[in-house]
Structure 1
Amino acid sequence: MAEQSNAPAKTSRKQQAEQTKQKLLTVAMELIREQGFDNVKIEDICRAAGVSTGAFYHHLKSKAGIVVESYSQCDAYFNETVYPSLANDCTVNAVLQYIAFQMQYATDFGVDIILQIYKAQLTEGTDFFLSPERGLPLGLTRILAHLQQQGVIRSEKPAEEICREILVISRGVLYNWCQCKGNYDLKAFALELVSNYLKSYTI
């Protein structure tokens, strides 16, 4: 008698685990936006999500894990939505629009969560945040490489290096925005600085 496959059960368990993780993340982000990161306890998140604390630690490890995981979803958004929407643009505007999406994403997160992202970058996930293979930097690198192939920007410096320098600018703007408690137009300031930077590479 042939053995019955347990693949469907495994798939169902995997889907249930992903749903639990997403529910925890969604509830956690809502509570953090409402109350502030430092004021929200893991027990509060679990109670609101109807999930055990054991499940929380299994999926997110710690409160800082909420921030790291939320940025992982940010990468998926840039990889699956933002980059495809700009991939065929053969102008420098593609780079500026990409940064505009980054700043809008940060604005939607809010100052408090961006502050926690910076803390997590230093204490929880340095290798992850600096990886050029993440969705956000990878999409920007591809756009820059495409513009170099089209002769729109100069090619003496690799696209990966130009991307790294642009993201240093954008991270600096985000850091300053947090210092100023979000009291200026983040997107406009970032686009001004990146636009000025790109002038040195435009043919």
Structure 2
Amino acid sequence: MNNLTNRQKQAINTKFKITEIALELFKSKGIKKVKIKDICNKANVSIGTFYHYFDSKEKILEKSYIQIDSMIAENIENIVYENNLDRILKLFNRANILIEDLGWRFVADAYTHLLTSEDRYSLCSKRYPYVLIKESLEKGIIAGEFLPNFNPEEVSEVCMRLGRGMVFDWCLHKGSYSLTSESEKSIITYLKTFQVKI
């Protein structure tokens, strides 16, 4: 950010502030109950400023996926892993801790929006979680941890589907169980199919 002008820095800070406050309000009230006016009042910006950065409050949800991926990537990069399965499990663990912290209502609103949105970032195979899972599976095959008879890209896709399904189920149960521990059990059960038996 050193090469940016003061105006550019201010724009980045304003957009971040709007995002942060909107997510906080979505989390506490639910997206349907939050009006753009509420976000603007709390962020101390005009409605025109809001629309300069976002077309709608739902766009903030779409952009939050990118922020969550960045937070997970930062959080996971310096962790020591026992093996490549452990690396995948730690990815899901960190992601699910963040999701649990956001709360089932917020996440249910986000999923509801995803169903009708044209934005498909959450399905993009270039997202950090997809890349890390695929890379871990490939390294695991080379290290002799996983069998060589499967396609890491397909298995990483199924892992992500499984993760999304677990989050959806957790929302249906209104967050009544530990998403983190239940997801781990499901991922382990699925990936055992591809592990080398010792």
Classify 1:91/1:139 alpha carbon distance in 2 versus 1 (closer, same or farther; 3 Å): closer
Counterpart Cα distance in 2 of 1:157 and 1:126: 30
1:43–1:53 Cα contact (<8 Å) kept: yes
Aligned with residue 68 of structure 1, among 59, 62, 65 = 62
Q: Does the alignment pair 1:17 with 2:17? A: no
Deviations 1:19-52 (A, max 9, x none): 0111001111111222222111110000100111
Match of 1:39 in 2: 33
Unaligned runs of 5+ in 1: 1-6
Identity of aligned residues (%): 28
Shift, 1:91, TM fit = 4.0
User: In the aligned structure 2, how far is the partner of 1:14 from the partner of 1:139?
Assistant: 32
How far did 1:187 drift? 1.1
Using the alignment, how far apart are the partners of 2:23 and 2:95 within structure 1? 18
- Contact 2:85–2:136 (8 Å) recurs in 1: no
Structure of higher CA gyration radius: 1
Who is 2:20 aligned against?
26
Q: Secondary structure at the match of 2:194?
A: coil
**Runs of 5+ consecutive residues of structure 2 not aligned to the other structure:** none
* In structure 1, C-alpha distance between the alignment counterparts of 2:165 and 2:121, rounded to whole Å: 18
Q: Is 2:91 the partner of 1:98?
A: yes
Deviations 1:61-106 (A, max 9, x none): 2111121111110111233332x23576424222212111121111
| 1:49 corresponding residue in structure 2 | 43
> Alpha carbon RMSD of aligned pairs, Å?
1.9
Q: Which residue in 1 is equivalent to 2:136?
A: 143
Residue number in structure 2 paired with 1:154: 147
Alignment length (residue pairs): 195
Alignment-mate amino acid for residue 146 of structure 2:
I
Amino acid at match of 2:18: L
Deviation track 1:104-156 (CA, whole Å, cap 9, x = no partner) reads 11101111221122123222244211111112222222222222221111232
CA distance in 1, matches of 2:171, 2:181: 15
Query: 1:157-184: per-residue Cα shift (whole Å, max 9, x none)?
Result: 2222111111111111100111111111
Paired amino acid for 1:103: N
Are the structure 2 counterparts of residues 11 and 135 from structure 1 closer, same or farther at C-alpha, using a change threshold of 3 Å?
Answer: farther
Equivalence for 1:111? 104
Secondary structure of the residue aligned to 1:92 is helix
Partners in 2 of 1:120 and 1:46 — Cα distance?
Answer: 21
Residue 128 of structure 1: aligned partner: 121
Equivalent runs, 1:147-186 vs 2, <5 Å: 147-186=140-179
TM (normalized to structure 2)? Answer: 0.90
